[in-house]
Structure 1
Amino acid sequence: MVQTLAKTELMTFTEFVEWKPENRLYELHDGVIVEMPQPVGKHEQVKGFLATELVFEYRKANLPYFLPSQAFVKVPEAESAYLPDILILNTSNLVNEPLWESQSTVTQGASIVIAIEVVSTNWRVDYFTKVNDYEEMGIPEYWIVDYLGLGGRRFIGNPKQPTILVHELIDGEYQVTAFRGDERVISPTFPELNLTANQIFQAGN
């Protein structure tokens, strides 16, 4: 369960990065510090498998991308900063990022190739808050990997079932496609990716 730390005053992003202790994961949601839970084993297996497959795709294509171990996505004009489970960055745009060298933080959609959240108990943040913020930032592709089928029925069906939602930015708005079971997941950024939803869900089995 995500924990919101008790604090009487909202925190700016600058205050947050100065305060943030080492070796613990926090996000900032509209000025509120949120402690991220230690991920469970299955979560990390799904994340690790998918990250490895995506790195293979961009290395194969010789693209100027890389996958940081931890980097913040700071929402412009808001005191919010997220740590996506998987974040692939476009190296060529980092020269335009004022917070990259000092704070490992990106603020521009042009710097982000793809952001992925592997859903845990705080699914509403991934399905609502981050969708809106990432769309506003112009992040071209955002995945929600709901391997436990935790999200709302309007997103993953009734009865609920494990689902991957791929958000593609088209004319400034996200168009969403759902993938389940043995359906091949279609990535606009990595069209040669050849994985089914089940292959991702069953990572490590």
Structure 2
Amino acid sequence: MSQSIPPVLTEQPVDNLPTLTFEEYRFYEGELDVQYELYKGKLIPMPIATVLHTKICEYLVYQLRRYVVTHNLDLVVKRGLGVRTEENSSRIPDVVVCTQSLLEQAGARPGGGNLGFDETPLVVIEVVTENRRVDYITKRAEYNLADVPEYVIVDPAENRQRVRVMAFLEGDDIYTEVNYLPGDEMESVVFPNLRLSVNEILDPPLVEWLIKAEQAQLQKAERLAARLRELGIDPDAV
């Protein structure tokens, strides 16, 4: 474990893009099909996601939504939702978990969907792509200073496979990190009953297959319940 935050490295913005305030960023319309983050007033184009990146994100959204529904939590799990981290900086994490009321507040404002300074999500997740220093160092510092309770990094690179969970422990104001490696089960601090296989996170099954498997189990349970009723047995009493 480590509680130190390395120095923040400066990202390399595209020089021909304008410098914007956060409010200008919320209404900025750039190239079609290009998402931009805002870092210290400069626009940062986000790389096109790989198939593996997309599968990991969809798997995490699926598992987190199942957890939220199962535990009857007033939370939502979203992709594409911005999180303001500094005066003129805003990130678009791969996955964001926040309250439904915060999502509605963001949705009621004109412009792009961004959570403000006083609208802190519970969990943000980043899947490492091209510039791992940004995810491991720059964004870590931003999310820490923005008081995001839990920041998760998923790194699927062949020589660095891990899931790093960073969270505030009681009384701390800087992140404590735990690395989970292949063969481990990742544990969340914010959601203590949530445990996910690191192997599945790094090489996830298709969500469509998971849904089909769930539907098959439900159909099997329904057939069993119907058979019990035919025999005069209340399936709810078994």
TM range (shorter): 0.7 to 0.9
Deviation at residue 73 of structure 1 after TM alignment: 0.6
Decide which of 6, 9, 13 is 2:15's aligned counterpart.
6
CA distance in 2, matches of 1:135, 1:179: 20
Q: Determine whether 1:32 maps to 2:42.
A: yes
Aligned to 2:54: 44
Q: Whole-Å Cα distance in 2 between the matches of residues 8 and 204 of structure 1? A: 38
Q: Distance in 2 between matches of 1:109 and 1:174?
A: 19
Rounded Cα–Cα distance in structure 2 between residues aligned with 1:138 and 1:17: 22
TM-score for both structures, normalised by structure 2:
0.73
1:108 CA drift (Å): 3.8
Q: Is the 8 A contact 2:79 2:93 kept in 1?
A: no
The offset of 1:110, in angstroms, is 5.4
Alignment of 1:65-84 (within 5 A): 65-76=75-86, 78-84=87-93
Match of residue 154 from structure 1: none
Which stretch shifts more, 2-11 or 131-140?
2-11
Counterparts of 1:24 and 1:59, CA distance in 2: 32
Say whether the 8 Å CA contact 2:64–2:77 is kept in structure 1.
Answer: no
Asked if 1:130 is matched to 2:131, the reply is: no
Matches within 5 A, 1:47-126: 47-76=57-86, 78-93=87-102, 101-102=109-110, 103-108=112-117, 111-126=120-135
Deviations 1:143-188 (A, max 9, x none): 0000115xxxxxxxxxx43011100113211000000011110101
Letter in 1 for 2:70: K
* 1:45 match: secondary structure: helix
Q: Aligned partners of 2:80 and 2:116: how far apart in 1? A: 14
> Aligned residues: percent identity?
26
Aligned residue number for residue 141 of structure 1? 150
CA contact 1:26–1:34 (8 Å) conserved in 2: yes
Aligned to 1:186: 187
CA shift for structure 1 position 12? 1.2
Q: Which moved more, 1:97-106 or 1:59-68?
A: 97-106
**Which residue in 2 is equivalent to 1:156?**
none
Letter in 1 for 2:67: E
The farther-off stretch of 23-32 and 98-107 is: 98-107
SS of the aligned residue for 1:181 comes to coil
**CA offsets 1:61-90 (integer angstroms, 9 cap, x no match):** 1111112332111124x2111000001111
Report the alpha carbon displacement of residue 3 of structure 1 after superposing the two structures with TM: 7.4
Q: In structure 2, the residue corresponding to 1:51 is in which secondary structure?
A: helix
What runs of 5+ residues in structure 2 fail to find an aligned partner?
1-10, 207-238
User: In 2, Cα distance between the equivalents of 1:40 and 1:98?
Assistant: 28
Counterpart code for 1:172: D
Separation in 2, partners of 1:177, 1:81: 25
Question: Which ranges in structure 1 are unaligned for 5 or more consecutive residues?
Answer: 150-159
SS at match of 2:27: helix
Query: Contact (CA 8 Å) 2:61, 2:78: kept in 1 or not?
Result: no
Contact 2:38 2:88 in 1 (8 A): yes
* TM-score when normalising by structure 1: 0.84
Structure 1 Cα separation of the partners of residues 185 and 79 of structure 2: 27
After TM superposition, where is structure 1 displaced by more than 4 Å over at least 4 residues in a row? 97-100
Residue 23 of structure 1: CA displacement?
3.4
Higher mean alpha-carbon deviation, 60-69 vs 104-113, is at 104-113
C-alpha spacing 1:185/1:8, structure 2 compared with 1 (3 Å): closer
Residue 161 of structure 2: aligned partner: 162
Change over 3 Å in CA distance of 1:26–1:110 after alignment to 2: closer
- What SS does the corresponding residue of 1:89 show, helix, strand or coil? strand
The alpha-carbon deviation at position 5 of structure 1 amounts to 2.2
Partner of 2:210: none
